[in-house]
Amino acid sequence: MSSGSLDVEQSDKKWVRLAKKVTRLLLVSAFILQIVCIFCTTILGTHLLSLPASKTQAVSALGYLKENFEFEYLTSRIAFIQGLITWIVAVALEHAIPQGLNETEARRRMDVLIASSLMCLVFAMLSFYNGHMNFYKNYFDMLCHYGKVTYIQYIHQWPPRVLTVLAAPFFFTSVVYFFKVFLDFDSEDKKTR
């Protein structure tokens, strides 16, 4: 697709508008997740290199990470695989969105082929990942456990961490605007001042 092809147009049907918004959100999310993965693994790697050798009950390097750095371990694993999957789904969705009057039947067929192939790849990757999972039943189980670990790391703290408190207004603003973007179809064609 060309630059600007994800801009919502007045002539777009509601499902096309929604698909364009979801695609843009997925692309930004994929970028954010990859940055988080790079950041977290860099910090974790530096931290691990600075530790003296210690006695541990873990029988493997992954076991050691899960035992001592579970939040960081899960963050890097989830950010990488979720960022990759999110990006592939965004590209698939971008190809699934019709191009309008300029689209030929041959191009539409090619776009459907690309979209369906990429979605097949996503499910194959998740199946493969689930088959090679350590410590968790499947990817969804790992995500649920990560939610608990994240809650303990950032929310279930007293006194609260200063930066967590400072991040809260931005988090809530993002949540409010998420609902405004995806539930308010009436304001899409209005110009801002």
Q: Can you tell me which residue has the tokens 């530096």?
A: 46
> Are the C-beta atoms of 88 and 121 separated by less than 8 Å?
yes
DSSP state at residue 100: G
With respect to residue 165, please indicate whether it lies within any of the assigned structural domains.
Answer: no
With respect to residue 167, please indicate whether it lies within any of the assigned structural domains.
Answer: no
Total domains present in the chain: 1
Q: Can you tell me which residue has the tokens 């995500």?
A: 143
With respect to residue 164, please indicate whether it lies within any of the assigned structural domains.
Answer: no
Domain that holds residue 36: 14-157
Look at residue 1 in the predicted model and tell me its pLDDT. 43
With respect to residue 98, please indicate whether it lies within any of the assigned structural domains.
Answer: yes
Look at residue 64 in the predicted model and tell me its pLDDT. 81
With respect to residue 67, please indicate whether it lies within any of the assigned structural domains.
Answer: yes
Rounded-to-integer distance, Cα 130 and Cα 66, Å: 18
With respect to residue 183, please indicate whether it lies within any of the assigned structural domains.
Answer: no
Residues lower than pLDDT 70 in the chain: 1-4, 53-58, 185-193
